Chain A
Amino acid sequence: MRSAAAMVLLAFAAAVHADPYEADPDLAAQDADYAAGKRAVDAKDWTSAVDRFKRAAVRHPENADVQNYIGYSYRNLKNYDAAFTYYKRAIELDPRHRGAHEYIGETYLLVGDVAGAERHLKALREICLLGCEEMKDLEQAIVKYRATR
């Protein structure tokens, strides 16, 4: 017992300490289901993506990225009602989530609701005071939509 305890002493006497001032990185990215969901997205296997991201969402219920990915996967499955539900949840969790604003805006265009898309473009303009890709992409999508109507 004494020698075992001595090994504990040895192990802990030279320990590594966390930096006490560091911020919290997003650990959802380390989640196995989240990673599998992203691989399914890359493979365009939308059904699997929904399944894996929903599993990740159980462990990360407040993670807007996970909700956004579920919305994106449903959108590609053409289940737009479900897509809206998850995009809205992503925005509820993070009102400044640029990706969710862009994607829900584009989904509104897919169902012919240009006013809905414009609402999210307005939100992006308020968020991206210095401009951002998401705002440009949604702007272009709206322009393209109008040109084809």
Chain B
Amino acid sequence: MRPTSRLALSCICAALAPIALAHDEPAKEYGRLGTVKFENSCAPEVQAKLTRAVAMLHSFWYVAAEKTFTEVISEDPSCGVATWGLASILMSNPLGGRGSTAPQAQKAMAAIELGRVMGTKTERERDYIEAVAAYYDDWANKPERARQLARAEAYQKLAAKYPKDDEAQIFAALYTAATQQQSDQTYAAYLKAAAVLEEQFKKYPDHPGVAHYLIHSYDAPPIAEKGVKAARLYASIAPDAPHALHMPSHIFTRVGAWEDSAATNQRSREVAKAGGEGDEAYHATDYMVYAYLQMGRDADARRTIDEASQIKGININGLAAPYAIGAMNARYAVERSDWQAAMQLPMPPPSTWTPTPANTRFARALGAARTGNVGMAREELAGLAEIQRALEDKKDKYWATEVEVQRLIVAGWIAHAQKNDDDALRLMRGAADLEDRNEKHIVTPGRLAPAREQLGELLLEAGQPKAALAEFEMSRAREPNRMRNYYLSAVAAEGMGDKVAARNYWSKLAQLGAKSDSARPELVRARAALQ
């Protein structure tokens, strides 16, 4: 290295050092991560380690990957391409939509600069560094959407330049999928990525990134079935990566495979807890609770919620943990129609993530409105309005809309409690139509109470079982195999006098609750109807 380069390297390292912030490291060695072939010109003794770091990157195991990439640099200071890995990690989950924070971007840009100074022995490795650099170029003056598009374009160029480099094709597919917007219900970006990944899947059935990104690329209601194969394989490809154990449940949730979801999330939670990754553990826990509740395994759900209090190392100002803490307690009440419990839900711990209290307020409002306590329902409704206003002030349109849907549902039930079903139905239909325009966020296995299911329930209460059943069927297309949906559908079919349809729904409900550990009234009624 030239003296000027050495000086530049020292300056960059000095810039990197002060940005150190605390994060727990996994306590154990890293194990099975799948098969990745990442050609590189680094010293022979670090090549296996670099490949392992890339495998970790493919499973979004950022803590472990970061440690491993830095070890590579430490052991082979000529391995410039390892800085590409560091900069990639700092973009965080590219499907999450948030991207880098300012300190992360600063640090990533320093890593990229370090890579440029260290140099690479091949043009391809330099092109990898420049591809990730496209995301950080003029970072402060771009919205995340523009960064995502720049990144996708840069990786697509990389993939085109090196058509035989399968890692380039796979990363290009990931970053293409990451341009998918929740309001685009043609799923164009997802499907474009999936087309590439399906070809790669034939070549590399045990590649962690291919299986992982296929799951993300099919994480939408009408295309979820296509992701089942990847979902069933991914956890066995990289069984030591917490995210790999959790990710299959995104597809399992979409297709209503609750036993699979609960099982894989249980493993994910344990691995994440052991590694001190509290956010990942909480995220898996919420998915697990949701799955248990759909099977009527209420005791398992309750135990899982209670055990979550032992999870350490969470970021209360992040999203995954505060969302899960509020949501799973609220789910436990709402899914079981336990309105008294819903009204008494404690508020979640304070968090700077603005929507944190929304699910709790929503559940309390539902409980109050469904039991005729209009005064309390209105108080909670006002609380939800405050949250929506705060989100609008922050220009967080997606979550503001989610809270608006909750307000409309509550207002609908209040109007119904006040014997004004015309208004109630107008408000509830508005909620359902608004919710249908956006996909659910990946942080949640499902909204607390699907708006179209709520509309059906209101129609049922308003004495319109046929219209109600139509709404339940529509809701089921987006959120299949839900216990409440089958129960309400059966009641609606009975209300219409359609005994065949009713029996069909009671039967589905009984199957779903075959391993129930509780005396859910829905299941008691189903079993009685089937005798």
Q: Which of B485-523 contact A (CB under 8 A)?
A: none
Q: Is the CB of B394 within 8 A of A25?
A: yes
- A residues apposed to B, CB below 8 Å: 1-2, 4-32, 59-60, 62-63, 65, 94, 129-130
**Least Cβ–Cβ distance between B89 and chain A, in angstroms:** 8
Chain B residue at minimum C-beta to C-beta distance from A64? B397
Tell me the bound Cα distance from A12 to B12 in angstroms: 13
CB-CB under 8 A from B398, the residues of chain A are: 23-24
Q: Is the CB of B142 within 8 A of A21?
A: no
CB-CB under 8 A from A8, the residues of chain B are: 13, 16, 70, 73-74, 111, 114
Tell me the bound Cα distance from A86 to B276 in angstroms: 50
Given A7-B14, A28-B143, is A23 in contact with B22 using a C-beta cutoff of 8 Å?
no
CB-CB under 8 A from A59, the residues of chain B are: 141-143, 146
Chain B 278-290, CB within 8 Å of chain A: the 1/0 string?
Answer: 0100010000000
Tell me the bound Cα distance from A149 to B3 in angstroms: 81
CB-CB under 8 A from B21, the residues of chain A are: 14-16
Q: Is the CB of B93 within 8 A of A9?
A: no
**Least Cβ–Cβ distance between A34 and chain B, in angstroms:** 10
Beyond A17-B92, A18-B91, A32-B141, 18 additional pairs, beta carbon < 8 A: A4-B6, A4-B77, A5-B74, A6-B74, A11-B20, A16-B19, A16-B22, A16-B23, A20-B60, A21-B443, A22-B318, A23-B441, A24-B98, A60-B143, A129-B408, A129-B411, A130-B385, A130-B408
Q: How many residues of B contact A (CB 8 A)?
A: 74
Chain A residue at minimum C-beta to C-beta distance from B399? A23
Nearest 7 pairs of A and B residues by beta carbon: A20-B93, A26-B395, A18-B92, A19-B318, A11-B16, A16-B21, A22-B98
Task: Indicate if B334 sits at the interface (CB-CB under 8 A).
Answer: no
Tell me the bound Cα distance from A60 to B14 in angstroms: 34
Tell me the bound Cα distance from A30 to B99 in angstroms: 15
CB-CB under 8 A from B111, the residues of chain A are: 8, 12
Q: Is the CB of A15 within 8 A of B66?
A: yes
CB-CB under 8 A from B101, the residues of chain A are: 16, 18
Tell me the bound Cα distance from A21 to B6 in angstroms: 38
Chain B 105-126, CB within 8 Å of chain A: the 1/0 string?
Answer: 0010001001000000000000
Task: Indicate if B39 sits at the interface (CB-CB under 8 A).
Answer: no
Task: Indicate if B63 sits at the interface (CB-CB under 8 A).
Answer: yes
Q: Is the CB of B23 within 8 A of A26?
A: no
Interface centre among A6, A18, A130 (most CB of B within 10 A): A18
**Least Cβ–Cβ distance between B354 and chain A, in angstroms:** 10
**Least Cβ–Cβ distance between A75 and chain B, in angstroms:** 22
Tell me the bound Cα distance from A29 to B395 in angstroms: 8
Task: Indicate if B396 sits at the interface (CB-CB under 8 A).
Answer: yes
Q: Is the CB of B315 within 8 A of A19?
A: yes
Q: Is the CB of A13 within 8 A of B6?
A: no
**Least Cβ–Cβ distance between B96 and chain A, in angstroms:** 5
Partner of A16, one of B6, B25, B86, B104: B104
CB-CB under 8 A from B283, the residues of chain A are: 21
CB-CB under 8 A from A20, the residues of chain B are: 60, 92-93, 96, 279, 320
Partner of B13, one of A4, A24, A26, A32: A4
Interface centre among A6, A24, A65 (most CB of B within 10 A): A24
Partner of A129, one of B89, B397, B430: B430
CB-CB under 8 A from B19, the residues of chain A are: 11, 15-16
Q: Is the CB of B143 within 8 A of A21?
A: no
Given A11-B107, A14-B21, is A24 in contact with B144 using a C-beta cutoff of 8 Å?
yes
Chain B residue at minimum C-beta to C-beta distance from A59? B141
Q: Which of B376-397 contact A (CB under 8 A)?
A: 385, 394-397
Given A4-B10, A18-B101, is A10 in contact with B318 using a C-beta cutoff of 8 Å?
no
